[in-house]
A and B are shown apart, each in its own frame.
Chain A
């Protein structure tokens, strides 16, 4: 099988990360990589202290991309993120000071602590990939990826993200506690933040852009798999507990993410397994449940739906 060179680089990068730095976080790492390769953003939803920030830092360090961080609080203003113009008295005009969003990987920590106004400004920048400050449009760097984290919304002092904003994240996932033996190792060895500082990048920006290009153009998506994706989307639309099923944008995202997943598996075609493996992360947060079913576990529901759809095997 012919595997493109950049593919091997990416896989090697993932392997190094999960082997040397982030034990027991393979799945989150894989999903982050998929988001990076498809130009999407990722929302990590879990309790504090499980390594959300570490993952973002590690990914940035390994891929050699610039890293910016915004710690969201309830008094955070949009300009704290985008940056602002400052009057330069010597030169007699305003100079634009770019905010932390002008980085390749931006960690928006605890995004649901920010005010809706600030949230919406950030999410708009995510979507448009540019920022307009005082009439001047500034383009964000490429690749650009938002790595948002969120505490489960039942915690106090949070502004839950509205559904329409959630839709802008390609992937939404949890982390979960590491397995027992790994956690014991982590306890014994202490944090790895310091080690992350001294990381040598395993890839360049150009590598990432090339990989992203091959994901977009070099992965074959068969009609059989398209049918499978469609069957999945259609099933969410006719389910009794779901008010609004998956949108066409969700289906497109699912196809893109599947391509990236296939790429990371070292294949140049998408298999239904890829779709199946990524569907919950890509789709669950986009479902809008009926009012009386809001507390239902959307991931579990989606898994049950997928289990009912026959894979195209012949």
Chain B
């Protein structure tokens, strides 16, 4: 027995939560407090059954709040006041006394709250809350019709189950409509009212300059930078090229946009990728080092092997790229050596001497590169993100005193020394590594994988990729082992693949792309080798299935685990209905009665054997069971 009034109250709070939770992070403090207080006060008053403040008093009190937010409204700030007013209205409704009308208002306001959360954020969580809310609202509406007839109605459990089933059926029945509406309704690829707000700054991510010594500690953030769909590659080849820094100003490396023209040659097999960058301020289009081509309208390639977008990437997009991963970029003609040998005006004396040593001992670019590499390898340098050298002479400190730093120190110092020793060099900024998501078949690159390395020009070979960070004595620990794939990591990758699918299929939905995906899936299915993907996906697919099965078994255990007797008995009644036309509701016709009605000796024998065991409270013996089975198999058709 369940009182309908308490049920509707609980449902309306659940619905309100579905609306509040996704919106909560984007609210200012006042509406947040109002919502929490309204919810708690409402629950408390509902439990006590007294409402000291009347609804009209609440309504009156809200008027000044409305006026305040109306004044706040401006073209620059259109969303926040509206959403705040919405939240406060919901809070007021939650804490007041509730009639059917008020419950409906709560449902509507909650739905608006949920909808307005999509102004700020487009994440798959929205779908979850929406689905949950639709189910709850449907059930709540059915219950409210009862409630409006008699608020003190008490429903027996069996009736309640029926009501719930009807409530749940309504949204489910509307699911097929989704298939029609999804492609035809307009949608946005960015949160509507949030596109002007600058994305959060990235502490350790990729930036447009390399400035070692700016701070003593570098934070690590797991923010996603981009995803790349491609087959798995050897981990040591995962250098993602973003930009090239070709001029050193004081302590910092920057990009001089006046890149001297040169023509790179891409030799060797090309690896195709599809890159999905996260929207952000950067203009660099990343791809595996070094990209031969990037298929994206308006993307511009530079002669030093990088591609850029004309403006910041503000919406979700994707592009195809083809890369050659040999690590050596030959040029057709020579290069502008002077451009890549430019040095900053002030170079520390010790650096100058070290470079001079290298220059003296080595003849030719290749030998000098080798010497410098040896110097780094023997120099006992440590790769570290903490306790970094700072200040004007940070590089000098790094090279000769502290001997620890991150990739920017290694790369800046190495490139500086190369240039000082007369070897043309430049810095390449991008990312190193990536977590391969077997389920989605893509690499996940996060901001903490940002990396800088060096390209040195060796006559006769071309631009050679050198990663000075790998000369650190602890390089093996940092990159060698690779990350352990612990369950948390696996789960993260799994969730990310959901996110990726959501972005691909829903947010950046475009019909051609969907058709392409379907085509590819068809192709892949044709050449499906019971491969790794299936293996990797299996546990994640099986888990919900197993859970659902377990739930079904628990709920319907009586129906599923029918005893042997139950099955025999049911078959008996089915047979006499089929063969003798004796129809009866289950459990209304006794065994002997039924057998007597058939006038069939085998039916009588069945009844005698079966009832003999059943009503003597003993189990059927093996022989009896076999005999019963035989009787049932033969049926009860009376032979003429």
Contacting pair B617 A222 (CB below 8 A): yes
* Residue B534 CB within 8 A of the other chain: no
Interface set, chain B 609-636, CB cutoff 8 A to A: 611-612, 614-617
* Given contact pairs A314-B563, A314-B565, A314-B569, A269 touches B616 in the complex (Cβ within 8 A): yes
* Residue B477 CB within 8 A of the other chain: no
* Residue B589 CB within 8 A of the other chain: yes
8 Å CB contact of B612 from A1, A276, A307: A1
A31 to chain B, nearest CB (A): 17
Question: A311–B572 Cα gap in the complex (Å)?
Answer: 15
* Residue A37 CB within 8 A of the other chain: no
* Residue A294 CB within 8 A of the other chain: no
Contacting pair A224 B614 (CB below 8 A): yes
Q: Name which residue of chain B comes closest to A270, CB basis.
A: B615
- Tally of chain B residues near chain A (CB < 8 A): 21
Interface set, chain A 218-244, CB cutoff 8 A to B: 220, 222-225
Cβ contacts under 8 Å, B617 to chain A:
220, 222-224
Cβ contacts under 8 Å, B569 to chain A:
313-314
* Residue A310 CB within 8 A of the other chain: yes
A80 to chain B, nearest CB (A): 45
Cβ contacts under 8 Å, B593 to chain A:
273, 276-277
- Which residue, A220, A272, A313, has most C-beta atoms of chain B within 10 A? A313
Q: Name which residue of chain B comes closest to A310, CB basis.
A: B587
8 Å CB contact of A273 from B587, B590, B612: B590
Q: Name which residue of chain B comes closest to A223, CB basis.
A: B617
Question: A307–B565 Cα gap in the complex (Å)?
Answer: 22
* Residue A265 CB within 8 A of the other chain: yes
Contacting pair A311 B587 (CB below 8 A): yes
* Given contact pairs A220-B615, A271-B611, A310 touches B591 in the complex (Cβ within 8 A): no
Q: Mark A301-314, 1 if CB is under 8 A from B, else 0.
A: 00000010011111
Contacting pair A276 B615 (CB below 8 A): no
8 Å CB contact of B589 from A223, A277, A311: A311
Interface set, chain B 594-620, CB cutoff 8 A to A: 608, 611-612, 614-617
Interface set, chain B 554-586, CB cutoff 8 A to A: 562-563, 565-566, 568-569, 586
Cβ contacts under 8 Å, A224 to chain B:
614-615, 617
Q: Mark A271-309, 1 if CB is under 8 A from B, else 0.
A: 111001100000000000000000000000000000100
Contacting pair A273 B591 (CB below 8 A): yes
* Residue B592 CB within 8 A of the other chain: yes
Question: A46–B161 Cα gap in the complex (Å)?
Answer: 51
Q: Name which residue of chain B comes closest to A306, CB basis.
A: B588
Cβ contacts under 8 Å, A311 to chain B:
587-590
8 Å CB contact of B591 from A223, A225, A270, A271: A271
Q: Name which residue of chain B comes closest to A313, CB basis.
A: B569
B272 to chain A, nearest CB (A): 65
Contacting pair A314 B586 (CB below 8 A): no
Cβ contacts under 8 Å, A307 to chain B:
588
Cβ contacts under 8 Å, B586 to chain A:
310
Cβ contacts under 8 Å, A271 to chain B:
590-592, 611, 615
Cβ contacts under 8 Å, A310 to chain B:
586-588
A7 to chain B, nearest CB (A): 15
- Which residue, B562, B568, B616, has most C-beta atoms of chain A within 10 A? B616
Q: Mark B535-560, 1 if CB is under 8 A from A, else 0.
A: 00000000000000000000000000
Question: A313–B614 Cα gap in the complex (Å)?
Answer: 8
Cβ contacts under 8 Å, A222 to chain B:
614-617
Contacting pair B614 A314 (CB below 8 A): yes
Contacting pair A225 B590 (CB below 8 A): no
A136 to chain B, nearest CB (A): 47
Cβ contacts under 8 Å, A273 to chain B:
590-593
Contacting pair B612 A272 (CB below 8 A): no
Cβ contacts under 8 Å, A1 to chain B:
608, 612
8 Å CB contact of A225 from B566, B587, B615: B615
Question: A128–B592 Cα gap in the complex (Å)?
Answer: 37
Q: Name which residue of chain A comes closest to B593, CB basis.
A: A273
A70 to chain B, nearest CB (A): 38
8 Å CB contact of B590 from A220, A223, A276, A314: A276
Cβ contacts under 8 Å, A225 to chain B:
615
Q: Name which residue of chain A comes closest to B562, CB basis.
A: A314
- Which residue, A220, A225, A310, A311, has most C-beta atoms of chain B within 10 A? A311
Cβ contacts under 8 Å, A312 to chain B:
614
Cβ contacts under 8 Å, A277 to chain B:
593
Q: Mark B210-248, 1 if CB is under 8 A from A, else 0.
A: 000000000000000000000000000000000000000
Question: A312–B590 Cα gap in the complex (Å)?
Answer: 9
* Given contact pairs A1-B608, A271-B611, A313 touches B616 in the complex (Cβ within 8 A): no
Question: A276–B566 Cα gap in the complex (Å)?
Answer: 21
Question: A148–B590 Cα gap in the complex (Å)?
Answer: 31
Question: A311–B587 Cα gap in the complex (Å)?
Answer: 5
Q: Name which residue of chain A comes closest to B567, CB basis.
A: A314
Question: A313–B613 Cα gap in the complex (Å)?
Answer: 11
Question: A271–B593 Cα gap in the complex (Å)?
Answer: 10
Cβ contacts under 8 Å, A223 to chain B:
617
Interface set, chain A 122-141, CB cutoff 8 A to B: none
Question: A311–B593 Cα gap in the complex (Å)?
Answer: 11
B466 to chain A, nearest CB (A): 81
Cβ contacts under 8 Å, B562 to chain A:
314
Cβ contacts under 8 Å, B590 to chain A:
271-273, 276, 311
Contacting pair A265 B592 (CB below 8 A): yes
Contacting pair A220 B563 (CB below 8 A): no
B562 to chain A, nearest CB (A): 8
A306 to chain B, nearest CB (A): 9
Contacting pair A313 B592 (CB below 8 A): no
Contacting pair B615 A314 (CB below 8 A): no
Question: A187–B119 Cα gap in the complex (Å)?
Answer: 98
- Which residue, A224, A272, A273, A312, has most C-beta atoms of chain B within 10 A? A273
Q: Name which residue of chain B comes closest to A265, CB basis.
A: B592
B606 to chain A, nearest CB (A): 12
Q: Mark B119-150, 1 if CB is under 8 A from A, else 0.
A: 00000000000000000000000000000000
Cβ contacts under 8 Å, B587 to chain A:
310-311, 313
Question: A1–B605 Cα gap in the complex (Å)?
Answer: 11
Contacting pair B591 A313 (CB below 8 A): yes
Cβ contacts under 8 Å, B566 to chain A:
314
Question: A224–B569 Cα gap in the complex (Å)?
Answer: 15
Question: A222–B616 Cα gap in the complex (Å)?
Answer: 6
Question: A92–B568 Cα gap in the complex (Å)?
Answer: 77
Q: Name which residue of chain A comes closest to B590, CB basis.
A: A273
Question: A307–B593 Cα gap in the complex (Å)?
Answer: 13
Cβ contacts under 8 Å, A276 to chain B:
590, 593
Question: A314–B619 Cα gap in the complex (Å)?
Answer: 11
Q: Name which residue of chain B comes closest to A262, CB basis.
A: B615
Question: A262–B559 Cα gap in the complex (Å)?
Answer: 32
Question: A222–B618 Cα gap in the complex (Å)?
Answer: 10
A294 to chain B, nearest CB (A): 29
- Which residue, B569, B590, B616, has most C-beta atoms of chain A within 10 A? B590
Cβ contacts under 8 Å, A220 to chain B:
615-617
Question: A265–B569 Cα gap in the complex (Å)?
Answer: 21
Cβ contacts under 8 Å, B615 to chain A:
220, 222, 224-225, 269-272
Give me 11 A-to-B residue pairs in the complex whose CB atoms sit less than 8 angstroms apart, sorted by A's number.
A220-B616, A222-B616, A222-B617, A224-B614, A265-B592, A269-B611, A269-B616, A276-B590, A311-B587, A313-B591, A314-B563
Q: Give me 14 other A-B pairs in contact (C-beta within 8 A), A271-B592, A273-B592, A311-B589 excluded.
A: A220-B616, A222-B616, A222-B617, A267-B608, A267-B612, A269-B611, A269-B616, A270-B615, A307-B588, A311-B587, A311-B588, A312-B614, A314-B562, A314-B569
B→A interface (CB under 8 Å): 562-563, 565-566, 568-569, 586-593, 608, 611-612, 614-617
- A-B residue pairs, 6 tightest by C-beta: A310-B587, A273-B590, A314-B566, A314-B565, A273-B592, A222-B615
